[in-house]
Amino acid sequence: MKAKGSIRNHIGAIIALLCAGIVVLIDQVSKALIVDNLVTEGNSVTVINGLLNFTLSYNDGMAFGLGSSVFRWVFVGIMVVVGGILIYFMFNPKYNSPLFLSAAALVIGGGIGNAIDRVLNGYVVDFLALSFFPPICNIADYAITIGTVLLLIYVLFVYGKNDKKQVVNEPVEFLADKDE
């Protein structure tokens, strides 16, 4: 009986991890389709004229094409550590906010997507070339970026707000009980 309640307490985290898996799947399938269809690095297909091209690029550096291949295993290690920390917090009821869980799912899914490329190939396949954002990226890069922004919003504007309200309300409730 206790295990059943435990699963209910963690259903948000479980759903978030499934969403992370969907991010990984979309990332890996999109990369495979691009590699199979654009074939050689530098080939480009216009998707939305003046806004979006699919341009095949192999990135052995950091996010958005920065850095070098020297850091291959460092990136994989960072992903394992960050992913592990996020998963730990996801299963803590204190952080059971949909915003936090969504942010964590995006960061974990994107991190795993790029880690798969780094482990198997030694590089990450990039292909999304936006006209207003110079680096060529992939789905995983954008998932990590959006997840990080959501995580910052959570930390700055959501986390601890309920705790502060309870602290402010407790003395008022205490005084109200004392007068009765």
Which residues are the active-site residues?
126, 141
> How far apart are alpha carbons 26 and 42 in whole angstroms?
22
First to last CA, the chain: 40
User: What are the CA-CA distances from residue 65 to residues 60, 109, 115 (Å)?
Assistant: 8, 19, 15
Question: Is 23 strand, coil or helix?
Answer: helix
Longest dimension (CA), the chain: 79
Of 154, 147, 148, 153, the closest CA to residue 97 belongs to 154
Strands (E), the chain: 44-48, 52-59, 124-130, 133-137
Between CA 79 and CA 88, with CA 82 as vertex, the angle to 5 degrees is 130
